[in-house]
Structure 1
Amino acid sequence: MKFENESYITGEGIYYKGVLRDIKRSKISFQPIYEAFTNSLEAVKIKSKTKTDFKGEIRIRIYSTQNTDESLSFSRLEIEDNGIGFNDEEFNRFVTYKDFTKGFKNLGSGRIQYVHNFDNTKFISKYQSNGDFREREFVVSKDDKFLAKNSITFHKKDKLIFKGESTGTRLIFEGLLDKTKASYHSLNDKILKDHLLKRYVQYFCLNKESLPTIKIEHFIYGEKLSTSYITIKDIPKIDKTTNIDVEYSKLSDDGKNVINVDKSETFTINAYKLNKSFLKENQIKLTSKDEVIENFDIDLQLLTKDEIIDDSHFLFLISSDYLDEKDKNERGEIDIPNYHEFSSNSNVFYEEEIILDLVENQINGAVYELYPEIEKINKVKQLEFEKLKQMFLLSDLEDLNISPNDSDKKILEKFYTAEAKKQAELDANLKHSIDRLNILDTTAEDYSDSLEKEIENIVRVIPLQNKKELTHYVARRKLVLELFALILDRKLSVQNDGSRNKDEALLHNLIFQQSNDSSDKSDLWIINEDFIYFQGISESKLSDLEIDGEKLLRDDLTKEEEEFIRSLGEDRYAKRPDILLFPEEQKCIIIEFKNPSVSVSDHLNQINNYATLLKNFTTSQFNLTTFYGYLIGEKINALDVRTYDADFKDAYNFDYLYRPAKTIANLFNSNQAEGSLYTEVLKYSTLLERAKMRNKTFIEKITNNKQDQV
């Protein structure tokens, strides 16, 4: 077929405005470049079959301009090859929409990506016909003047040229339609080389011995800035290869199940073990026509994306005739339904399909067999998951699809999502049973049996609901205790960074955040379960203390009282007890923390002093008379404590001392009764053991399991 010069080429039965609407612009920025590069590879390969001494060449030129801020702007891009050229046969295929007779499994829709991305794409092609050499020039565009003719191709000329000329094609992309595409403005030879290597790694490996010379140049204002080549040295070798057969699936006759049928497709897995500097993460990628499909990922179930083995990452490229045939018009857009999509589609009762879930599972199984060393990594990940389950008391849930690529956060999100669904079902069952109470008839013969049945349903559901809440409650406490142990063992990074010792502050803030008055949100339960229910304050000046908006200490001091407060150069109202709690009228709990490295015996009087101040200087509204003191540290020797104060006694259980009573003096008003102070001196490690024992009991109830450690 001959084509007239200076003419628009229209297609019979094609309305190009509709075609452009239906075939969207690819989400892959460089898709037009890939289309053109693939055509050049094919043109060179066709020519190599007819000329034994032929050496293919592909040259890519990137042209940029420089802005006033020294940034670059894309100008144009050229791809030139010395392939077969656009003879009449090849050109006829090009202009025939969806012509896939080329033999390379092409869809004939690549030029649609040209017009979606560039104002015009120009071709200057030299070819041989009947012994003569000719040159053809044409342009593709979706400009209005083209579409007005129901065309996207303008055939400019086809003329005879001197004999002896080489064949080949030069393609020129000009006029970037989306000028905001930063990927084009920042494009240079090195970046494009990297993209081509990753996109065509499969093709390059399979055709390594016959690969054309590939040269990429970057120009600024016409001056060559840099050059890159793709050579055999850049192309990795296939490390291992294997085939898998994946069966087709269909819905059962009743539409309730997905079943396999006696029909399958063969998929080839080519495995590459590449240096981590080249391949940034482990991947499984589908390929179509030996090109990597960028927008379709297969989950690598046995290996995290960032796992490194022998200083390398793994790339698994999957190819199949089935994938080539599934490739859409947008090139690289593959549609393979997953199990849920297939089973929920009412129109697939009689259709047979390859299901993505089966493909994914069989690929991962094959990968596992190819590289047994991955098994070791997988076992480590499983141990980490089991540790996470134990830490948060996660129950075993069916269909909880955990991948090695999932972070701890992602695993917990999946678990709590599944738990929420389970909780919703429990709530619905509970509501259903309660609603059914309305229809019970107390006069009916089966009333007792019906009532008993509904009671059993409710009794069965409520414990499950309570167990979930209790699990979260206990799991949080378990984490707090683990953090407590880490602080005592000085294993936090902040304790080993060379800065001043913060152990006391870390322990204080763990139990009750400093400068805080929300005891209900604290972890005072470590000391005593009841303490979280009392009003309290952590690390606050005595002069600033308020309870229910009322000042705790008096301002109307006598001269004698004022002198005492200021005596010995002190300001006793400015003192800051670590924690004060007020369980009920006239009672106060005083808690003092000491750095684990400090001898507690040196501070036995501190709580006495605080109790004395509170006894003598609180307002009449509070009138504190009964005090409970807890002096907590780690450096404690029972004999040393009793040397300082013989009223302290050893407790029968755990490692702590207590003093049943200490008189708190009434300093300024002899008419008032004196106060009383109960005191315990105990170690942080003792607190930890006490709390562990309490939490252990809860965990055993939840897990129905005896645990040696909590």
Structure 2
Amino acid sequence: MTLDIRGSLKNTKISSDGYVVLEELISNSIDAFLIRQHADPGARSLVVSIEAEISSSGLLGDGTDISITCTDNGCGFGDDQADAFVTKDTSYKDDLAIAGIGKCKGSGRIQYFHHFERVGVRSTFRNEAGVATRTLLPDAARKKIDVADFIITGGDERQIGTAIRLEGLRDATRAKLFKTEALADVFSAANMRRNMLIAFLQRLVSLKSQLGEFVISFETRHSNGGVERSSLSAADLPEVTVVRSTEVAERDPQSGDPLGSTQTFTLSHYRLDAQTYDLPRNAISFCARSSPVLDITRRYLKTVAEQNRPVEGFHHIVLIEADLLDRRVNEQRDGFHEIPDEMPVYDLFTDATVAFADIFEQIDPIIAEMVTPSGWSKDEVIRDVADKFGVIQAMLTDTDTRVIYGDTAKSVAERVLKKYQERIVADTAEIFDLRAEIETAEPHTADFRHKINELSWKYTSYLKTFDMANLSQLVVRRAAIVEVLKLACGRALAVQAVEDGQRRKDEQIIHSIFFPMRKDSRETTDHDIWLLSEEYQYYDYIASDKPLSQIEWDDGGKLFDPTIDAELAETLRRRTKDHSAKRPDIAIFGEEGSAIIIEFKAPGVPLDEHIGDLSRYAHLLAAKSNGRLKKFYGYLVGDTLDPLGMIGWKKFASGRSFFHTSALEDPDTGRMLGELYAETLLYEDIVDRASKRIGVYREKLQIDFSKK
């Protein structure tokens, strides 16, 4: 059997974990101890020694290098162990019926060669002939390792165990993993101890009774002669704070449909007093074989400060384990293969039945209960989601969307709307499938009515999903428009901040909020005339500051005589030169012969001085429509009104606005042309009416865009 070093380096990626070599060394030492105890039970405890030697390197001695030696009192390199060492894809440990031993593919030692130029072994073991020592000298030129490369000599029973020495850190590894940190700091005794406590906490706790009063010692020797020492022992292990389990449903990878089975995930939470446990960071990780593999701390603790500092005086370690993770861990032990981010997976050859999205959906609320910094409010995020995106609590419940620490209003809204989108797509697809089946059904059979009933329920479900998503958007949009109108009426929009001497455009701005200027309803359907009245947006034709002679009826004929614009201009010219080219700001027409006239006045312009405008407009529109228009509703809108100028008008019971009803007669013949109902409206009343109109929905959505 031969281990092809260069071939193994090509086929096994380097791990992204800077401490992977230490983890592999200690993990193998634990396995070796368990094997020894199984074969030769005795009152012994695990002893592992890690020695890191920092030395000077480079022509000028201004660089640093490191050598690491791991010594243990395990079973040593017997024949079986030596064969496994030189076999990359080995099943040696898989066949050992020993509780607590780590399963492996034999690829862990490839990380030794990824990190270091030279690997040496000295191991003493017991065999049928007695005790022997097997030695492999470090050699940078070695391309392959064969069992025959080991030198076998006599051994001392007191030395049973293994020492693995790694020398000469590779430049590529230094650049990839240790570019910004000094090796002396990374591999200080204290740092090695702190990080190995996190890495092996779960495994050491579960094996505490089998490992005895174990000691894992760490020693760092510096080139200046300094020595640091630290250790991790059985007495240092904390008790697990809480253990929780959750079931993750398995799904078909192509369709995403439930398979009716689940995978169990177990979460172990260690809440460690920072005064007692000097740890470098908090750690939340997916594990394989009781060891952390994929760190997901930043998903729950968003800032570097939260990740590295105690949370309310405690370090938190949360370890997530599952048989699925044990099976799917990759060779370099820094991730998992064939666990997709989401389902369904568009890969015909995948056998994945669980996605990370499904896992997170189950574990997120559990971890949120375990680790949540103070100062964060779930209710505040939910309010923000409703205010900014119209996603109400009912929608969160309907889509089973949980809000956890670190969520923003945007991220929550995206999750909710994505779920609705997926549901709508799925429902639509099912509806089309059912419709296709209905076409082939026979009406006189029971199956036909069954399909009809099923289709109706599908439609109902679809509409509920679709309407909930769209209603929230509609109400939030309207709430925003009301707030913009309120600001515009108070000249509080940024665009209304003009310098002295510049012409103000307040009336144009307010006009455009209701309906874009110089457009009609055939050019745009995006307007907010509902601010005045909900029913007006459904009228047949709306014109905003456009020549009335251009308006066509549905039959293609002109609504007004061609002379209407000239006569309108002449009518207004009698009043003032400033209005000689004006026409109604907004005119709305209905097939049944009604017209709505809206005239805006800029803030500060008295409405009582313009009450005759509505009557003049209505007279002219009635006379020039050839009898098509008979009912007129006029609105004079502004913010300034002198009640003394409103003789003959009646005041509304609430507010400061007035209304007036009058007949429209031809001034020359006395012929009845129609009737005008007119109102003076203050902008504040329109804002109030619009707010009340959407008030019920707005209250349910908890929307408020105004400044507090």
Query: Is the TM value for this pair above 0.5?
Result: yes
In structure 2, the CA distance between the partners of 1:107 and 1:552, relative to structure 1 (3 Å rule), is: farther
The letter of the residue matching 1:412 is: L
The gaps in structure 2 that reach 5 residues or longer are 34-42, 125-130, 154-162, 205-213, 252-256, 499-504
Q: Match for 1:36 among 1, 16, 21?
A: 21
Q: Distance in 2 between matches of 1:356 and 1:558?
A: 71
Partner of 1:68: none
Partner of 1:407: 412
Q: Distance in 2 between matches of 1:188 and 1:524?
A: 64
Partner of 2:607: 603
Q: Does 1:317 align with 2:319?
A: yes
Q: Distance in 2 between matches of 1:707 and 1:51?
A: 63
Q: Distance in 2 between matches of 1:452 and 1:52?
A: 73
The gaps in structure 1 that reach 5 residues or longer are 1-8, 66-75, 161-166, 218-223, 348-352
Q: Does 1:645 align with 2:632?
A: no
- The C-alpha deviation readout for 1:66-103, integer Å capped at 9, x for no partner, is xxxxxxxxxx9954224449x97798764342566697
1:123 deviates by 0.8
Q: Distance in 2 between matches of 1:537 and 1:274?
A: 71
Q: Distance in 1 between matches of 2:281 and 2:655?
A: 52
Q: Distance in 1 between matches of 2:140 and 2:343?
A: 42
Partner of 2:332: 330
Q: How does 1:40-189 map to 2 (within 5 A)?
A: 56-58=50-52, 78-84=65-71, 94-98=85-89, 107-112=105-110, 121-123=116-118, 125=120, 136-139=137-140, 151=144, 169-174=165-170, 176=172, 187-189=180-182
Q: Match for 2:477 among 480, 483, 494?
A: 480
- The C-alpha deviation readout for 1:101-124, integer Å capped at 9, x for no partner, is 697766421344577x78xx5116
In structure 2, the CA distance between the partners of 1:42 and 1:450, relative to structure 1 (3 Å rule), is: closer
Q: In 2, are the aligned partners of 1:287 and 1:317 still within 8 Å (CA)?
A: yes
Q: In 2, are the aligned partners of 1:189 and 1:216 still within 8 Å (CA)?
A: no
Q: Distance in 1 between matches of 2:437 and 2:242?
A: 54
Q: How does 1:439-478 map to 2 (within 5 A)?
A: 439-440=442-443, 474-478=471-475
Q: Match for 1:591 among 577, 589, 598?
A: 598
The letter of the residue matching 1:659 is: H
Q: Does 1:212 align with 2:203?
A: no
1:566 deviates by 12
Q: In 2, are the aligned partners of 1:193 and 1:216 still within 8 Å (CA)?
A: no
Structure 2 counterpart SS, 1:212: strand
In structure 2, the CA distance between the partners of 1:434 and 1:318, relative to structure 1 (3 Å rule), is: closer
1:317 deviates by 2.5
- The C-alpha deviation readout for 1:296-325, integer Å capped at 9, x for no partner, is x5998xx78679875999552246899667
Partner of 1:164: none
Q: In 2, are the aligned partners of 1:657 and 1:681 still within 8 Å (CA)?
A: yes
Structure 2 counterpart SS, 1:520: coil
- The C-alpha deviation readout for 1:586-635, integer Å capped at 9, x for no partner, is 9864434567xx467x13445755886898899989999886432335x5
Q: Distance in 2 between matches of 1:464 and 1:488?
A: 36
Q: In 2, are the aligned partners of 1:587 and 1:625 still within 8 Å (CA)?
A: yes
1:198 deviates by 10
Q: In 2, are the aligned partners of 1:487 and 1:503 still within 8 Å (CA)?
A: no
Structure 1 counterpart SS, 2:332: coil
The letter of the residue matching 1:35 is: V
Structure 1 counterpart SS, 2:23: helix
- The C-alpha deviation readout for 1:132-183, integer Å capped at 9, x for no partner, is 9999223489xxxx5xxxx4789999999xxxxxx87343454749xxx995
1:646 deviates by 1.7
In structure 2, the CA distance between the partners of 1:305 and 1:533, relative to structure 1 (3 Å rule), is: farther
Q: How does 1:114-513 map to 2 (within 5 A)?
A: 121-123=116-118, 125=120, 136-139=137-140, 151=144, 169-174=165-170, 176=172, 187-189=180-182, 193=186, 202-203=198-199, 212-213=218-219, 241-244=241-244, 258=260, 268-271=268-271, 284-288=284-288, 291-294=291-294, 310=312, 315-318=317-320, 327-334=329-336, 400=400, 402=402, 404=404, 405=407, 407-426=412-431, 428-429=433-434, 432-433=437-438, 435-436=440-441, 439-440=442-443, 474-484=471-481, 486-487=483-484, 500=497, 510-513=513-516
Q: In 2, are the aligned partners of 1:487 and 1:507 still within 8 Å (CA)?
A: no
In structure 2, the CA distance between the partners of 1:39 and 1:534, relative to structure 1 (3 Å rule), is: same
- The C-alpha deviation readout for 1:432-483, integer Å capped at 9, x for no partner, is 44653xx346xxxx9xx99988877777666666666655664444223433
1:504 deviates by 7.6
Q: Distance in 1 between matches of 2:417 and 2:434?
A: 25
Structure 2 counterpart SS, 1:138: coil
Q: In 2, are the aligned partners of 1:214 and 1:230 still within 8 Å (CA)?
A: yes
The range that moved more, 480-489 or 372-381, is: 372-381
Q: In 1, are the aligned partners of 2:135 and 2:150 still within 8 Å (CA)?
A: no
Aligned length: 605
1:56 deviates by 4.5
Q: Distance in 2 between matches of 1:401 and 1:199?
A: 35
Q: Distance in 2 between matches of 1:530 and 1:250?
A: 52
1:679 deviates by 2.8
Partner of 1:682: 681
Partner of 1:531: 537
In structure 2, the CA distance between the partners of 1:20 and 1:684, relative to structure 1 (3 Å rule), is: same
Q: Does 1:25 align with 2:10?
A: no
1:417 deviates by 2.2
The range that moved more, 92-101 or 554-563, is: 554-563
In structure 2, the CA distance between the partners of 1:572 and 1:324, relative to structure 1 (3 Å rule), is: same
1:38 deviates by 2.9
The letter of the residue matching 2:118 is: F
Q: Distance in 2 between matches of 1:706 and 1:168?
A: 67
Q: In 2, are the aligned partners of 1:193 and 1:230 still within 8 Å (CA)?
A: no
For the aligned residues, what is the CA RMSD? 7.5
Q: Distance in 2 between matches of 1:491 and 1:409?
A: 31
Structure 1 counterpart SS, 2:637: strand
Q: In 1, are the aligned partners of 2:487 and 2:493 still within 8 Å (CA)?
A: yes
Q: In 2, are the aligned partners of 1:293 and 1:333 still within 8 Å (CA)?
A: yes
Q: Match for 1:520 among 525, 541, 544?
A: 525
- The C-alpha deviation readout for 1:36-82, integer Å capped at 9, x for no partner, is 343566799999999999985436799999xxxxxxxxxx9954224
In structure 2, the CA distance between the partners of 1:649 and 1:279, relative to structure 1 (3 Å rule), is: farther
In structure 2, the CA distance between the partners of 1:358 and 1:84, relative to structure 1 (3 Å rule), is: same
The letter of the residue matching 2:426 is: K
Q: Distance in 1 between matches of 2:105 and 2:702?
A: 66
In structure 2, the CA distance between the partners of 1:364 and 1:336, relative to structure 1 (3 Å rule), is: farther
1:202 deviates by 0.9
Q: Distance in 1 between matches of 2:27 and 2:449?
A: 78
Q: Give the TM-score taking structure 2 as reference length.
A: 0.57
1:512 deviates by 3.1
Q: In 1, are the aligned partners of 2:248 and 2:358 still within 8 Å (CA)?
A: no
1:410 deviates by 1.4
In structure 2, the CA distance between the partners of 1:641 and 1:532, relative to structure 1 (3 Å rule), is: farther
In structure 2, the CA distance between the partners of 1:378 and 1:334, relative to structure 1 (3 Å rule), is: same
